[in-house]
Amino acid sequence: MEKTHILSITVENESGVLTRVAGLFSARGFNIDSICVAKTLEKNESKMIIATSGDAQILEQIVKQLNRLINVIKVQEFTDDDSVLRQTVLVKVNADETTKGDIFRIKEIFNGRIIDVSRNHYTLEVTGSEKKIDSLIDILRPLGIKDIVKTGIIALASAKKII
Amino acid sequence: MNHNRNNNTKKNLMTGSKIIIESLINEGVDTIFGYPGGAVLNIYDELLNYKDKIKHVLVRHEQGAAHAADGYARASGKVGVVLVTSGPGATNTITGIATANMDSVPMVIITGQVPTNLIGNDAFQEADTVGITRPCTKHNYLVKDIKDLARTIKEAFYIASTGRPGPVLIDIPKDITSSVYEFDYPETVQLHGYNPTYFGHHIQIAKLASEILKAKKPLLYIGGGVISSNASAELFELAELLDLPITSTLMGLGGFPSCHPLFFGMLGMHGTYAANMAISNADFIVAIGARFDDRVTGKVEEFGRNAKFAHIDIDPSSIGKNVKIEIPVVGDVKSVLSSLLEVLNGRNEEISEAKYERLGWLEEINAWKYEHPLTYKMNDVIKPQYVIEKIYELTGGEAIIATEVGQSQMWTAQFYKFKNPRTLLTSGGLGTMGFGFPAAIGAQMAHPDKIVFDIAGDGSIQMNIQELATAVQYNLPVKIAIINNNFLGMIRQWQELFYHKRYSFSEMNVNPDFVKLAEAYGAVGLRAKDPDDVVPVIEKALSIKRPVIMDFIVDREESVYPMVAPGSPITGMLLV
Ligand SMILES: Cc1ncc(C[n+]2csc(CCOP(=O)(O)OP(=O)(O)O)c2C)c(N)n1
């Protein structure tokens, strides 16, 4: 069955690592739904969070292949249950006198912020789970979404799991 | 070493070129295969100063250098080293690198690169070598700072030769080869992300031991991992201890003596009837350093359909890739097998009982063997299989045999009874025509006193025939046996079987006169047209201590049998 999988990949911070990792996915016909990369606190280390979907057996292959890369230090697989998954979205929506109130209410409900305002548009920033972001988009769509950008998912092992 | 450090002067300063060569010497390298060009001229200039320590073999095409280094590595177990220039020099090695990568051969390829300030400028003879070779190397490097040079070379050799071996490429810009830095070759490497598992897990090994004892119809299915981890002796001991029947992949041939009564030949597409039947009837199959390639398994759902599987492999990503494995053991084959032997040590009662229990199983396999042995029909033209048999007999199975790709390769696998590991050099994974001859040159460099053959088709040999000049130049007495059917034989065979004999562009309508060609290069050319010529021609070739081409004019439309059609279960064999 096709399922979303979140991989957290700790890599050595060397040029070409991103290509090596991404190349593994493309070579096996695996789509990357989102990818986030940034340095960790460790010198010379970065963490990549990759969201991908596909059947579990192919994923197992990918994890093994990732571990084979010399620059990959560690690969973890996350699910909703054992980790916190978040992403941030910026949405620019049409705003006029009749809808501004709605947008404010939506912002409140989703615990977001309005970070940019022009005469005809508001830009909202909302962070949350994939589901939360999806429902935000559903609600805003009728108002007219002018532009949207998502950061892609980031993930951390849940504190509960460690205890 | 003789460089006494003087406190007042800078320590051990060297050019990048000298650092490269000193590093190679530190790695025990004494032979490299290469071809010069602008970006590596500094290195080549320095190489002249090391003539007594490093033999450089000047090939005639960089692909030849890569295959020769590969053949050197396969035959010797050492890391093969290649030195070529940037751009076309580097791109010419790609087929060779991909070939080595597929077959897990340890190699270090040093490519020149344009100077750092020109990288990315579409400079003359610039290619993104690291980008191009990323998917076909085990790892690769672009050295951007001379400070990293020695460490990179150290790492490259370490990565190439440990774990599942493979080719590692180092791309070195020209300015780095001329700049100067202190040389201090590191003793160890620090690679956080690279820790191959060498020892198998003891619980898994114990499980494996008891399953092997329990099985009524066990079978060992061995692959190239047995050879690359030098595990033949342990395998032999295990097989004899428990009377375990063995079948091998193409890459595993030589890992166990072919004439041994427990050996039932190669399995898979052109495997023996006995081997393929054994796979399908076994109740417990232990895959050892093999990777369940589709040419081996046929229809994978049917492969070993009555068996549980154990799999010993150094590469976790090989395990469970195509077939579900009950007992995975990650580790070096040699180490795992010796642990297994230890676990079995002293369990004599269980062992003799197990052996007794499986007498019937061995009889069953032997019956298949006698029912459909490997065979062919003689007539008044030369049969390719006959040539291989005679090469086997006249070399006593002791030669190193490189092959090209196609029918001649399969006949070699079937009819040359390999005795020893590292004596069959063949491109199993990539199936590279043009591999065999340069690989034979590399093997002959590694073993000057051994008899080295390349068994070739008339198509394949023309893919790197230019290396005849190399063989002549270095006086390497490689014997090329051309199984000449004036066809791309294996293609013709597929067209015969699956395309109603529509021989679309598989006929080699024009071939050179290989005897004259040999002579033109300064080698010796011999021809056999009649079955009676075969033995004298081989004998003559063996008596000549120079490169020889033997042109065997064989039955044009002979096919390789047994054959399993691609995607069919391996029991569905077309027989002679
Ligand atoms: C570089 C390369 N190109 C194409 C092929 C496809 N191929 C596989 S076998 C074969 C025919 C080989 O013919 P020949 O060398 O004459 O050997 P034969 O099969 O006749 O023994 C070809 C073209 C290949 N394996 N390698």
| Chain A residue at shortest CA distance from B168 | A70
Which are the contacts of B313, defined by CB distance < 8 A and separation ≥ 6?
B164, B225, B287, B288, B289, B290, B291, B319, B329, B330, B333
Q: Establish whether residue B404 lines the binding site of ligand 1, counting it when its CB lies within 6 angstroms of any ligand atom.
A: yes
B273-to-B255, B323, B493 alpha-carbon distances in Å: 20, 22, 19
Q: What pLDDT is recorded for position A59?
A: 84
Count of alpha carbons within 13 Å of B370, Cβ hemisphere only? Answer: 6
Dihedral of the CA atoms B449, B451, B455, B458 (nearest 10)?
70
The model's confidence at residue B1, banded by pLDDT at 50, 70 and 90, is very low
Q: What is the CA(B460)–ligand 1 centre distance, in A?
A: 6
For residue B146, give the amino acid letter.
I
Chain-chain contact of B316 with A12 (C-beta, under 8 angstroms): no
Chain A residues within an 8 Å CB radius of B192: 12, 73
For residue range B91-106, what is the model confidence (pLDDT) as tens digits? 999 999 999 999 999 9
Assessment of whether the complete model's pTM goes beyond 0.90:
yes
To the nearest whole Å, the CA of A83 is away from the closest chain B CA by 24
Cβ-contact B50, B20 below 8 angstroms? no
Compute the distance between CA of residue B369 and CA of residue B379 in angstroms, rounded to an integer: 24
> Distance between CA B93 and CA B540 in Å, rounded?
35
Distance between CA atoms of residues B322 and B292, nearest Å: 6
Burial class (CB in 10 A: 0-12, 13-18, 19+), A31: exposed
- Tell me the average pLDDT across A59-77: 92
Which residues of chain B from 94 to 133 reach within 8 Å of chain A, CB to CB?
130-131
Average pLDDT over residues B385-407: 98
- Nearest neighbour of B316 by CB, restricted to A64, A69, A73: A64
CA proximity to B143, closest of B125, B107, B169, B123: B169
DSSP one-letter code for B298: B
In chain B, the domains with their CATH numbers are 2-182 (3.40.50.970), 202-371 (3.40.50.1220), 384-557 (3.40.50.970)
Share of chain B above pLDDT 70, in %: 98
pLDDT of residue A28: 80
Q: How far apart are CA B72 and CA A120, in angstroms?
A: 72
User: Which amino acid appears at position A98 of this protein?
Assistant: T
pLDDT above 80 (res B130) = yes
CA B549, chain centre distance (Å): 22
Q: Which residues contact B7 (CB under 8 A, 6 or more apart)?
A: none
Return the structure tokens found at A70.
């010399």
User: Which of B385, B482, B491 most suits a substitution to test ligand 1, by most atoms within 8 Å of the C-beta?
Assistant: B491
Output the average pLDDT for chain B. Answer: 96
Residue of B192, B319, B323 to mutate for A, most A C-beta atoms under 10 A: B192
Residue B484 near residue B510, CB atoms below 8 Å: no
Q: Report which of B443, B461, B463 is spatially closest to residue B452, judged by C-alpha positions.
A: B443
Pairwise CA distance, residues B218 & B244, whole Å: 7
Question: Distance (Å, rounded) from C-alpha B87 to C-alpha B215?
Answer: 56
Whether B305 shows a pLDDT value over 60: the answer reads: yes
- Angle (nearest 5°) at CA B229 between B130 and B323: 80
C-beta atoms of B317 and A27 within 8 A? no
B457 lines ligand 1 (CB under 6 A): yes
B179: Cβ contacts below 8 Å, ≥ 6 apart: B15, B16, B146
Quote the pLDDT of residue B91.
Answer: 98
Consecutive H or E run containing B158: helix B149-161
Tell me the best of B382, B408, B460 to mutate to test the pocket of ligand 1, counting ligand atoms within 8 Å of each CB and taking the most. B460
Q: Rounded to a whole number, what is the distance in Å from the CA of B401 to chain A's nearest CA?
A: 32
Question: Is the confidence metric ipTM above 0.95 for this complex?
Answer: no
- Closest listed residue to residue B406, CA positions, set B439, B377, B431: B431
Confidence label for B10 from pLDDT (cuts 50, 70 and 90) = low
With a cut of 90, say whether residue A102 has pLDDT above it.
yes
B15-26: average pLDDT: 98
Domains of chain A with CATH codes: 3-78 (3.30.70.260), 84-157 (3.30.70.1150)
Closest A-chain CA to B144: A15
- Of all residues in chain A, the percent with pLDDT exceeding 70 is 96
DSSP B193-237: T-----SPPHHHHHHHHHHHHH-SSEEEEE-HHHHHTT-HHHHHH
Whole-number mean pLDDT of chain A?
A: 91
- A162: pLDDT strictly greater than 60: no
Q: What is the pLDDT of residue A26?
A: 87
pLDDT-based confidence at B458, cuts 50/70/90?
A: very high
Q: Which tens digits make up the pLDDT trace of B262-297?
A: 999 999 999 999 999 999 999 999 999 999 999 999
- Residue B359 CA to residue B380 CA, distance in Å, equals 42
Task: Considering only the beta carbons, identify the residue of A15, A65, A73 that sits closest to B193.
Answer: A73
Please say whether the dihedral angle defined by the alpha carbons of residues B213, B372, B554 and B267, taken in this order, is positive or negative.
negative
CB < 8 Å to B128, chain A: none
Q: Which atom of ligand 1 lies closest to the CA of B432? A: 26
Which of B137, B313, B153 minimizes the C-alpha distance to B225? B313
A33/A50 Cα distance (integer angstroms): 7
- Confidence label for A27 from pLDDT (cuts 50, 70 and 90): confident
